[in-house]
Protein backbone atom coordinates (compact mmCIF):
# COMPACT_ATOMS: atom_id res chain seq x y z
CA UNK A 1 0.00 0.00 0.00
CA UNK A 2 1.39 3.41 -0.97
CA UNK A 3 1.49 6.26 1.50
CA UNK A 4 -1.37 7.95 -0.38
CA UNK A 5 -3.45 4.76 -0.27
CA UNK A 6 -2.75 4.49 3.44
CA UNK A 7 -3.91 8.06 4.06
CA UNK A 8 -7.20 7.33 2.27
CA UNK A 9 -7.76 4.00 4.04
CA UNK A 10 -11.03 3.93 6.01
CA UNK A 11 -10.65 0.42 7.41
CA UNK A 12 -12.27 0.19 10.84
CA UNK A 13 -14.34 3.33 10.27
CA UNK A 14 -18.13 3.63 10.15
CA UNK A 15 -19.54 6.10 7.65
CA UNK A 16 -23.15 7.32 7.50
CA UNK A 17 -24.41 8.78 4.22
CA UNK A 18 -27.86 10.36 4.15
CA UNK A 19 -29.54 10.37 0.77
CA UNK A 20 -27.19 7.48 0.03
CA UNK A 21 -29.51 5.36 -2.10
CA UNK A 22 -28.99 7.19 -5.40
CA UNK A 23 -26.92 9.72 -7.33
CA UNK A 24 -24.06 11.43 -5.53
CA UNK A 25 -24.84 9.74 -2.21
CA UNK A 26 -24.72 6.29 -3.75
CA UNK A 27 -21.37 7.01 -5.41
CA UNK A 28 -19.98 8.16 -2.04
CA UNK A 29 -21.23 5.01 -0.30
CA UNK A 30 -19.48 2.82 -2.87
CA UNK A 31 -16.13 4.59 -2.73
CA UNK A 32 -16.16 4.60 1.09
CA UNK A 33 -16.82 0.84 1.15
CA UNK A 34 -14.13 0.24 -1.47
CA UNK A 35 -11.67 1.97 0.85
CA UNK A 36 -12.55 -0.14 3.87
CA UNK A 37 -15.40 1.61 5.67
CA UNK A 38 -18.54 -0.04 6.96
CA UNK A 39 -21.39 2.06 5.60
CA UNK A 40 -24.88 3.13 6.62
CA UNK A 41 -27.21 4.20 3.83
CA UNK A 42 -30.00 6.41 5.18
CA UNK A 43 -32.89 7.69 3.08
CA UNK A 44 -36.69 7.82 3.00
CA UNK A 45 -37.18 4.68 0.91
CA UNK A 46 -35.94 1.78 3.01
CA UNK A 47 -36.10 -0.75 0.17
CA UNK A 48 -33.73 1.33 -1.94
CA UNK A 49 -31.34 1.75 0.99
CA UNK A 50 -31.29 -1.98 1.61
CA UNK A 51 -30.64 -2.69 -2.08
CA UNK A 52 -27.65 -0.34 -2.15
CA UNK A 53 -26.38 -1.87 1.10
CA UNK A 54 -26.55 -5.35 -0.42
CA UNK A 55 -24.68 -4.17 -3.52
CA UNK A 56 -21.97 -2.50 -1.43
CA UNK A 57 -21.43 -5.64 0.64
CA UNK A 58 -21.42 -7.90 -2.43
CA UNK A 59 -18.84 -5.79 -4.27
CA UNK A 60 -16.54 -4.89 -1.36
CA UNK A 61 -17.16 -7.35 1.47
CA UNK A 62 -17.78 -4.50 3.87
CA UNK A 63 -20.70 -4.43 6.28
CA UNK A 64 -23.51 -2.18 5.05
CA UNK A 65 -26.84 -1.23 6.61
CA UNK A 66 -29.86 0.45 5.06
CA UNK A 67 -31.96 2.62 7.37
CA UNK A 68 -35.19 4.48 6.67
CA UNK A 69 -34.65 8.17 7.44
CA UNK A 70 -36.50 11.41 6.76
CA UNK A 71 -33.98 14.25 6.86
CA UNK A 72 -36.66 16.81 7.71
CA UNK A 73 -37.68 15.16 10.97
CA UNK A 74 -35.77 15.88 14.17
CA UNK A 75 -36.81 12.57 15.74
CA UNK A 76 -35.54 10.65 12.70
CA UNK A 77 -32.08 12.16 13.22
CA UNK A 78 -32.13 10.99 16.83
CA UNK A 79 -33.31 7.52 15.81
CA UNK A 80 -30.69 7.18 13.06
CA UNK A 81 -27.90 8.19 15.41
CA UNK A 82 -28.99 5.67 18.04
CA UNK A 83 -29.40 2.92 15.42
CA UNK A 84 -25.85 3.44 14.15
CA UNK A 85 -24.42 3.24 17.67
CA UNK A 86 -26.51 0.16 18.47
CA UNK A 87 -25.38 -1.64 15.29
CA UNK A 88 -21.77 -0.50 15.01
CA UNK A 89 -20.82 1.09 18.32
CA UNK A 90 -19.27 4.13 16.68
CA UNK A 91 -19.61 6.80 13.98
CA UNK A 92 -16.50 8.19 12.31
CA UNK A 93 -17.82 9.89 9.18
CA UNK A 94 -21.14 11.63 8.53
CA UNK A 95 -22.15 12.83 5.07
CA UNK A 96 -25.21 15.07 5.07
CA UNK A 97 -26.21 14.53 1.46
CA UNK A 98 -30.01 14.24 1.61
CA UNK A 99 -31.78 17.21 0.09
CA UNK A 100 -34.77 18.39 -1.91
CA UNK A 101 -35.44 21.26 -4.33
CA UNK A 102 -39.13 21.37 -5.26
CA UNK A 103 -40.26 23.11 -8.44
CA UNK A 104 -42.67 26.04 -8.36
CA UNK A 105 -44.27 28.34 -10.93
CA UNK A 106 -43.33 31.63 -9.27
CA UNK A 107 -41.99 32.95 -5.98
CA UNK A 108 -45.52 33.93 -4.99
CA UNK A 109 -46.66 30.36 -5.61
CA UNK A 110 -44.30 28.97 -2.94
CA UNK A 111 -46.49 27.71 -0.10
CA UNK A 112 -45.63 27.75 3.57
CA UNK A 113 -45.68 23.95 3.56
CA UNK A 114 -43.21 23.77 0.66
CA UNK A 115 -40.94 26.38 2.24
CA UNK A 116 -40.92 24.71 5.66
CA UNK A 117 -40.30 21.26 4.20
CA UNK A 118 -37.43 22.51 2.04
CA UNK A 119 -35.69 24.15 4.99
CA UNK A 120 -36.34 21.14 7.22
CA UNK A 121 -34.80 18.60 4.84
CA UNK A 122 -31.84 20.74 3.75
CA UNK A 123 -31.01 22.49 7.02
CA UNK A 124 -32.83 21.27 10.14
CA UNK A 125 -31.99 17.60 9.68
CA UNK A 126 -28.28 18.20 8.99
CA UNK A 127 -28.07 20.45 12.05
CA UNK A 128 -29.51 17.86 14.41
CA UNK A 129 -27.62 14.90 13.00
CA UNK A 130 -24.33 16.83 12.93
CA UNK A 131 -24.82 18.00 16.52
CA UNK A 132 -25.36 14.43 17.72
CA UNK A 133 -22.58 12.85 15.66
CA UNK A 134 -20.13 15.68 16.26
CA UNK A 135 -20.47 15.62 20.03
CA UNK A 136 -20.01 11.83 20.00
CA UNK A 137 -16.88 12.24 17.88
CA UNK A 138 -15.53 14.89 20.26
CA UNK A 139 -15.91 12.47 23.18
CA UNK A 140 -14.20 9.63 21.30
CA UNK A 141 -11.64 9.51 18.49
CA UNK A 142 -12.62 12.55 16.44
CA UNK A 143 -14.12 12.26 12.98
CA UNK A 144 -15.25 13.98 9.82
CA UNK A 145 -18.55 15.60 8.84
CA UNK A 146 -19.16 16.44 5.19
CA UNK A 147 -22.09 18.59 4.11
CA UNK A 148 -23.19 18.31 0.49
CA UNK A 149 -24.73 21.62 -0.54
CA UNK A 150 -24.99 23.37 -3.89
CA UNK A 151 -23.10 25.96 -5.88
CA UNK A 152 -26.48 27.68 -6.02
CA UNK A 153 -25.98 28.73 -2.40
CA UNK A 154 -23.38 31.21 -3.71
CA UNK A 155 -25.37 32.42 -6.73
CA UNK A 156 -29.04 31.91 -5.90
CA UNK A 157 -31.57 32.16 -8.71
CA UNK A 158 -35.32 32.83 -8.37
CA UNK A 159 -36.01 29.32 -9.68
CA UNK A 160 -34.71 27.57 -6.55
CA UNK A 161 -34.65 30.26 -3.89
CA UNK A 162 -35.87 28.35 -0.78
CA UNK A 163 -33.45 25.51 -1.61
CA UNK A 164 -30.53 27.90 -2.16
CA UNK A 165 -31.33 29.76 1.07
CA UNK A 166 -31.37 26.50 3.03
CA UNK A 167 -28.07 25.39 1.50
CA UNK A 168 -26.54 28.80 2.28
CA UNK A 169 -27.53 28.06 5.87
CA UNK A 170 -25.74 24.71 5.54
CA UNK A 171 -22.58 26.62 4.58
CA UNK A 172 -22.98 28.59 7.81
CA UNK A 173 -23.43 25.37 9.79
CA UNK A 174 -20.24 24.04 8.22
CA UNK A 175 -18.26 27.05 9.40
CA UNK A 176 -19.83 27.10 12.86
CA UNK A 177 -19.45 23.40 13.60
CA UNK A 178 -15.89 23.45 12.25
CA UNK A 179 -15.00 26.24 14.66
CA UNK A 180 -16.72 24.52 17.58
CA UNK A 181 -14.86 21.22 17.25
CA UNK A 182 -11.57 21.95 15.45
CA UNK A 183 -9.55 21.58 18.64
CA UNK A 184 -11.18 18.21 19.37
CA UNK A 185 -10.26 16.28 16.24
CA UNK A 186 -13.58 16.74 14.44
CA UNK A 187 -13.36 18.27 10.98
CA UNK A 188 -16.38 19.74 9.16
CA UNK A 189 -16.30 20.63 5.48
CA UNK A 190 -18.74 21.23 2.64
CA UNK A 191 -18.87 20.19 -1.00
CA UNK A 192 -20.92 22.41 -3.31
CA UNK A 193 -21.87 20.55 -6.50
CA UNK A 194 -23.00 22.38 -9.59
CA UNK A 195 -25.21 20.69 -12.20
CA UNK A 196 -24.77 16.92 -12.07
CA UNK A 197 -26.36 14.14 -14.06
CA UNK A 198 -28.52 12.30 -11.54
CA UNK A 199 -32.13 11.17 -11.33
CA UNK A 200 -32.99 14.60 -9.93
CA UNK A 201 -31.75 16.35 -13.08
CA UNK A 202 -33.64 14.16 -15.55
CA UNK A 203 -36.44 16.71 -15.92
CA UNK A 204 -34.15 19.41 -17.33
CA UNK A 205 -30.81 17.85 -18.30
CA UNK A 206 -29.88 17.57 -21.99
CA UNK A 207 -29.27 14.07 -23.34
CA UNK A 208 -25.88 12.47 -22.55
CA UNK A 209 -23.24 13.63 -24.99
CA UNK A 210 -25.05 16.85 -25.87
CA UNK A 211 -23.16 20.08 -25.20
CA UNK A 212 -24.29 22.04 -22.13
CA UNK A 213 -24.09 25.70 -23.10
CA UNK A 214 -24.31 27.17 -19.59
CA UNK A 215 -21.32 25.17 -18.31
CA UNK A 216 -17.76 26.37 -19.02
CA UNK A 217 -16.81 22.69 -19.36
CA UNK A 218 -19.76 22.15 -21.74
CA UNK A 219 -21.11 19.16 -19.83
CA UNK A 220 -22.77 18.06 -16.60
CA UNK A 221 -20.84 16.47 -13.78
CA UNK A 222 -21.10 12.78 -12.93
CA UNK A 223 -21.57 11.43 -9.36
CA UNK A 224 -18.22 9.62 -9.57
CA UNK A 225 -16.57 13.05 -9.84
CA UNK A 226 -17.75 13.98 -6.33
CA UNK A 227 -17.04 10.71 -4.52
CA UNK A 228 -13.20 10.95 -4.53
CA UNK A 229 -13.36 14.40 -2.91
CA UNK A 230 -15.69 13.04 -0.23
CA UNK A 231 -13.21 10.22 0.39
CA UNK A 232 -10.40 12.74 0.74
CA UNK A 233 -12.36 14.83 3.25
CA UNK A 234 -13.38 11.72 5.21
CA UNK A 235 -9.84 10.41 5.53
CA UNK A 236 -6.56 11.30 7.18
CA UNK A 237 -5.40 12.73 3.86
CA UNK A 238 -7.26 15.95 4.76
CA UNK A 239 -6.20 16.07 8.40
CA UNK A 240 -5.58 19.86 8.34
CA UNK A 241 -8.71 20.76 6.37
CA UNK A 242 -11.76 22.02 8.23
CA UNK A 243 -14.31 24.73 7.55
CA UNK A 244 -13.65 24.45 3.82
CA UNK A 245 -16.40 25.19 1.29
CA UNK A 246 -15.36 23.46 -1.93
CA UNK A 247 -17.10 24.05 -5.26
CA UNK A 248 -17.35 21.21 -7.76
CA UNK A 249 -19.34 22.92 -10.48
CA UNK A 250 -17.35 22.85 -13.71
CA UNK A 251 -16.49 26.55 -13.28
CA UNK A 252 -20.04 27.88 -13.34
CA UNK A 253 -19.76 29.95 -10.16
CA UNK A 254 -16.75 31.82 -11.51
CA UNK A 255 -18.87 33.21 -14.33
CA UNK A 256 -21.10 35.14 -11.94
DSSP notation for 236-255? GGGTT--S-EEEESTT-GGG
Which candidate in 69, 115, 163, 240 is catalytic? 163
Dist. CA 146–CA 95, nearest whole Å: 5
Q: 2, 27 in Cβ contact below 8 A?
A: no
Known catalytic residue at 163: yes
DSSP notation for 138-200? HHTT-EEEEEE--GGGTS--GGGHHHHHHHHHHHHHHHHHHHHHGGGTEEEEEEEE-SB-SGG
Q: 177, 145 in Cβ contact below 8 A?
A: yes
CA-angle at 231, arms to 145 and 62, nearest 5°: 100
Dist. CA 147–CA 98, nearest whole Å: 9
Give the active site residues: 163
Amino acid sequence: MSRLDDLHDLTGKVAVVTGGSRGIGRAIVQVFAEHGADVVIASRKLDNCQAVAAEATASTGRRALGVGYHAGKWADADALFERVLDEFGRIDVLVNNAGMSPLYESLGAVTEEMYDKTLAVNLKGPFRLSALAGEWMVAHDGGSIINVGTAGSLMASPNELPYAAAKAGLNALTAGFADAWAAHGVRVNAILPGPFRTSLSEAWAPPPGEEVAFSPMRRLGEPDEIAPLALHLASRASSYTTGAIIRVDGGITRRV
